[in-house]
Chains A and B, each alone.
Chain A
């Protein structure tokens, strides 16, 4: 089970890293004749087995969004050309739309693999930030004890009790609503880290507080190690296993948080491909019925969360859903 989960996550990560090579089209290229176009069928049979090819596709009616394949004109897929794995240039009868096109005629598959970069990078960085802040605050609380511990623990519990989605929403909405993509990235990173640290801090505090009573800490003190050295070199390393488990909880939660915020229009602006901005199109029910391929980013999110959960379950732990 762990292996299956690792495979799923590995595929997604490879997709994100190799996005420019895997994407058949530029993510922001809009094809005028392909608004809401369904996925291009890739054929292998045409009077005998052939190398994969597509038929030229013609837009029959803009109003009905009806497309027809011109079976008299098969077009070979072009492998390893122009720095892409596979593509069909527009001049040769393309585009190749593996998962169809969105409201602007942009290739959903290409946007999906490019979107994986933003969505995953944000989630991974936010997870790291939450782990660092949480370990630091939890470590200080557990090591210092007394009044510092009381204060930090109360703070931790307070943030923990708040429904994360609403706090993220309120913090994001309190900032200017229109921001550049880089500013949104930084802002979401800070917000996610602010919401994620208490979960980490609570466990780290408990571990450090119990480790502090062990002999090796007394020995360290006797040898003249200061509190920061004890914490950084001896106590916090004992929490690494715990931190790894927390990372598996935080990562999917952050992927989802980005998707949710972008979905409601408080995340990245539309031209930036992320899984959340792509899902915005799926909010329109009447469109969704006719163009279900708009749900592709939802499937991508599902694969990531499932991959993480499979890894966790394979290790014999019950995966618990964190909000949102």
Chain B
């Protein structure tokens, strides 16, 4: 188990390094650089000075070396766009994205797993649940977020965009928290619904498969109540594919949160990455990529641990 964890951590570390380095090099090789932000009439000396400040006048390899030696000390350079250290920007954005993703994952789990158990065991309304699931599955975050923003704007039940109101901090921390909580449902639900539907479908399928196993028949023959069979016996077995999908779900959450953040103006990593990419803000791009890589690695690590918790075979052999 420890060797397994060590290997996964090593992989996570490599992922962050490779992803952020390739983002840096890709931005470096892209046509145009951050000095385009100075406008067409900037004096040549200022352009040259800016290029020197961002190491753009050095070779790509040298720039990467200087950047990575600083990044090893958690100094990710400065953002041109915001004129602030990348580390500060990343901290805020990563927390916002994490809040959004965690809320969405929570909602998706709370909706998808119980409904999947119900429809997979042929319970009441199985057909209805399956139909709703198919509809949600066909409405990815781009569509759900547009729809929810539209609904929020017309009904005015929820604020349609942003993470806080303008005057959020005037009333202290408690009003700030309730304000964020009021802004959260629209993006979180938009992100959660398609994932909840995926969970529901997978849980239903693996539940139906688990119920056909011989030990379920044996339990039924011993006179175990149908309810107990589903909750105690079949569910445990059916969990394995679900735990496997949690690792992948983090990738889907990250990708989906980009669109949702864009549509609902949630100030997270996706929005920041997009702005950095468009402005060729090279260190901000690399920093965002590093943060995204760390998210992914953490997600797949948690997925592996869940898998190990649900399936003793994984624990003993040390690999899924």
Interface: B219 (CB within 8 A) = no
* Contact indicator per residue, chain A 163-200, by CB within 8 Å of chain B (1) or not (0): 11110011101111100000000000000000000000
10 contacts between A and B (CB under 8 A): A175-B30, A175-B31, A282-B146, A288-B150, A302-B138, A302-B143, A319-B137, A321-B252, A324-B140, A324-B141
Question: Cβ of A264 and Cβ of B150 under 8 Å apart?
Answer: no
User: Which chain B positions have C-beta within 8 A of A279?
Assistant: 142, 146
- Which of A171, A286, A321, A323 is B137 in contact with, Cβ under 8 Å? A321
Question: Cβ of B138 and Cβ of A306 under 8 Å apart?
Answer: yes
Interface: B183 (CB within 8 A) = no
Interface set, chain B 145-201, CB cutoff 8 A to A: 146-147, 149-150, 153-154, 160-161, 194-195, 197-198, 201
- Which of B139, B154, B278 is A173 in contact with, Cβ under 8 Å? B278
Question: Cβ of B296 and Cβ of A288 under 8 Å apart?
Answer: no
Question: Cβ of B142 and Cβ of A260 under 8 Å apart?
Answer: yes
Interface: A295 (CB within 8 A) = yes
Question: Cβ of B19 and Cβ of A302 under 8 Å apart?
Answer: no
We find that the number of chain A residues with CB closer than 8 angstroms to chain B is: 46
Q: A163-B296, A319-B201, A323-B252 are in contact. Are A305 and B139 (CB under 8 A)?
A: yes
Interface residues on B, range: 35 or more
Question: Cβ of B19 and Cβ of A162 under 8 Å apart?
Answer: yes
Question: Cβ of A324 and Cβ of B150 under 8 Å apart?
Answer: no
- Cα of A322 to Cα of B26 in the assembled complex, Å: 25
User: Which chain B positions have C-beta within 8 A of A319?
Assistant: 134, 137, 201
**Which listed segment binds A: B54-62, B64-72, B228-236, B254-262?**
B254-262
User: Which chain A positions have C-beta within 8 A of B278?
Assistant: 173, 177, 266
User: Which chain A positions have C-beta within 8 A of B96?
Assistant: none
Question: Cβ of A306 and Cβ of B251 under 8 Å apart?
Answer: no
User: Which chain A positions have C-beta within 8 A of B31?
Assistant: 175-176
User: Which chain A positions have C-beta within 8 A of B103?
Assistant: none
Question: Cβ of B251 and Cβ of A323 under 8 Å apart?
Answer: yes
User: Which chain B positions have C-beta within 8 A of A323?
Assistant: 251-252, 255-256
Question: Cβ of B134 and Cβ of A283 under 8 Å apart?
Answer: no
9 closest A-B pairs by beta carbon, nearest first, are A306-B138, A165-B255, A173-B277, A323-B255, A174-B30, A318-B201, A305-B138, A163-B255, A324-B255
- Cα of A298 to Cα of B138 in the assembled complex, Å: 11
Nearest chain B CB to A75 CB, angstrom units: 32
Question: Cβ of A170 and Cβ of B277 under 8 Å apart?
Answer: yes
